[in-house]
């Protein structure tokens, strides 16, 4: 089996993975800030790093996977006050909701899932070390800040130079800072803060900044220098850049060897976000689509590529997953162990060892499904089921899935007479030279999973996609 190669954001290249301790992997992933229900962007991160840890275990590593929960934050405080509930009540509720979403999507729980509020002493200890090492100072407003220009390698992850960074980029103006690019380690408490929003410290009552949370939890649970740190692409700067500055400033050691970042989820080629109004919670999506379909929709795109969200793409994922289950419907897998010497398994492993290329690995599953359909071979059916299982797929009884998928597809599909009526309306628009309306109808049908093909002589044929 080929060596695992990982695209390391720090090196801006794929590198052969060599763990610090042979046979062991220590991995930290930035988790959810729990003030609302998880959205599809969160789902992608959760699935991506679930796939990473599954594959690391599949190829024989002993993995310690830590994914934190941010349970103290300005958004959390604001939402708790708006709701008239305690911070703990709010965060407990949304942690439970997150776990329900994870379970639905087949996401295995991390080995350790630390809450930020359980590590306040460790955060304060790291802040005191940074102050002693000359990297931190207490400003006249009471906040404790990190002095970015004191850290010589600031920008090595993101490729951003301090001289090129605009003052105020992603930073609120604050005259108390020595430099506008300095970031907060400890926020001084405000008189209006609710109960549970601050802790006593030598700097006065307050709460941790966002960045120090992950540095302290990562170093406490995995050691000062560990193998893999992951998260969404949007965390590369400033969050992960600041984690490096904090951790290496405190310990004097390299913080992490390999940095992995998953790409954005997009809607109409724009990043999914609340501000753009193109925001969907996992629960919204699961009301329309089976959870395994949603997982497969995420899995079939390489983790670093943008993931384009639409009903059309989810419908296509359902149809594709149906083809895989269909291959197993009448061919029971045998009970033997996965055979890594079998050609499909070798190609699957090569894909996954090439920076977790699930897109290519899924294409191998379809090749294998085609062979199962052709040969009705129980050994190949076993290979298909077990390889897919490494991606968290094809774990259900095939006929049960196929029955559900057929009902869902039929429920969401346009009836044939409605399609014909829209084609007729499009034809009338074309005859009236209203080509914009004709294009609109064509696009609307395509969004509904119906592709049109204009034929010579003026007729139009359609097919479901």
Strand partners, 8: 13
The topology (CATH level 3) of 5-265 is Rossmann fold (3.40.50)
Tell which residue, 44, 21, 463, 7, has the closest CA to residue 280: 44
Going by their DSSP bridges, the two strands 62-70 and 24-33 should be labelled as parallel
DSSP 128-189: HHHHHTTSEEE-TTS-EEE-GGGSTTTTTTT---TTTSPTTTTS---TTSSSTT-EEEEEEP
* The predicted structure's pLDDT at residue 166: 60
Report the pLDDT value the prediction gives residue 421, as an integer from 0 to 100: 87
- The Cα–Cα gap between 17 and 256 comes to 13
Higher pLDDT, 437 or 19: 19
The annotated binding site for ATP is made up of 274
For residues 9 and 437, which has the higher predicted lDDT (pLDDT)? 9
Q: Look at residue 172 in the predicted model and tell me its pLDDT.
A: 53
How high is the pLDDT of residue 409?
66
pLDDT tens per residue across span 147-170: 999 999 999 999 998 887 764 455
pLDDT at 203: 98
Q: What is the pLDDT of residue 413?
A: 62
Write down the domain spans for the chain: 5-265, 310-412, 416-464
Q: What is the CATH number of domain 310-412?
A: 1.20.120.640
Instruction: State the pLDDT at residue 169.
Output: 53
Question: What residues does 27 pair with on adjacent strands?
Answer: 65, 228
Q: Do domains 5-265 and 310-412 have the same CATH topology?
A: no
Query: What digits encode the pLDDT tens for the residues 28-49?
Result: 999 999 999 999 999 999 999 9
Classify strands 265-267 and 307-308 as parallel, antiparallel or unpaired: parallel
The span from the CA of 168 to the CA of 219, in Å, is 29
pTM over 0.75: yes
What's residue 174's pLDDT?
61
Q: What is the pLDDT of residues 202-215, one digit of tens each?
A: 999 999 999 999 99
At residue 122, the pLDDT reads 99
Confidence of residue 173 (pLDDT cuts 50, 70, 90): low
Helix (H) or strand (E) holding 388: helix 378-389
Annotated binding site: 30, 214, 239, 243, 274
Annotated binding site for Zn(2+): 30, 214, 239, 243
C-alpha dihedral (173, 176, 182, 185), degrees to nearest 10: -110
DSSP state letters, 64-123: EEEEEEE---HHHHHHHHHHTS-HHHHHHHHHHHHHHHHHHTTPPPPSB--BGGGGHHHH
């Amino acid at each position: 089996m080929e060596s695992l190669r990982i695209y390391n954001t720090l090196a801006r290249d794929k590198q052969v993975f060599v763990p610090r301790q042979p046979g062991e992997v220590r991995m930290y992933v930035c988790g959810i800030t729990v003030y609302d229900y998880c959205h599809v962007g969160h789902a992608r991160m959760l699935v991506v790093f679930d796939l990473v840890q599954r594959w690391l275990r599949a190829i024989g590593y002993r993995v310690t996977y830590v994914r934190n929960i941010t349970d103290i934050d300005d958004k959390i405080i604001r939402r708790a006050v708006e709701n008239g509930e305690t911070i703990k009540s709010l965060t407990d509720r949304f942690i439970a909701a997150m776990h329900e979403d994870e379970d639905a999507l087949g996401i295995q729980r991390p080995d350790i899932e630390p809450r930020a509020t359980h590590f306040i002493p460790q955060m304060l200890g790291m802040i005191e070390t940074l102050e002693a090492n000359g990297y931190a100072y207490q400003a006249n407003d009471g906040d404790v800040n990190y002095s970015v220009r004191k850290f010589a390698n600031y920008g090595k992850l993101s490729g951003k130079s301090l001289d090129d960074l605009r003052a105020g980029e992603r930073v609120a103006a604050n005259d108390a800072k020595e430099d506008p690019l300095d970031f907060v380690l400890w926020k001084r408490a405000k008189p209006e803060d609710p109960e549970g929003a601050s802790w006593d410290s030598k700097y006065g009552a307050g709460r941790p900044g966002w960045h120090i949370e992950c540095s302290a939890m990562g170093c406490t649970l995995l050691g000062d220098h560990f193998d893999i740190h992951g998260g969404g692409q949007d965390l590369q700067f400033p969050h992960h850049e600041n984690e490096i500055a904090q951790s290496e400033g405190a310990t004097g050691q390299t913080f992490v060897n390999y940095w992995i970042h998953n790409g954005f989820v997009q809607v109409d080629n724009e990043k999914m976000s609340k501000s753009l109004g193109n925001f969907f919670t996992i629960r919204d999506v699961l009301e329309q689509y089976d959870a395994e379909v949603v997982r497969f929709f995420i899995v079939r795109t390489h983790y670093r590529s943008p993931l384009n969200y639409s009903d059309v793409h989810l419908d296509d994922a359902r149809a594709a997953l149906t083809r895989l289950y269909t291959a197993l419907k009448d061919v029971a897998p045998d009970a033997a162990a996965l055979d890594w010497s079998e050609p499909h398994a070798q190609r699957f492993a090569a894909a996954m060892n090439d920076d977790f290329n699930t897109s290519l690995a899924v294409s191998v599953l379809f090749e294998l499904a085609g062979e199962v359909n052709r040969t009705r071979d129980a050994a190949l059916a076993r290979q298909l089921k077990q390889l897919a299982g490494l991606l968290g797929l094809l774990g259900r009884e095939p006929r049960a899935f196929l029955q559900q998928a057929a009902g869902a597809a039929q429920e969401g599909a346009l009836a044939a007479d409605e399609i014909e009526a829209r084609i007729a309306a499009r034809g009338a628009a074309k005859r009236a030279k209203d080509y914009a309306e004709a294009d609109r109808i064509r696009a609307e049908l395509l969004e509904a999973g119906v592709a049109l093909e204009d034929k010579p002589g003026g007729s139009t044929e359609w097919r479901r996609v």
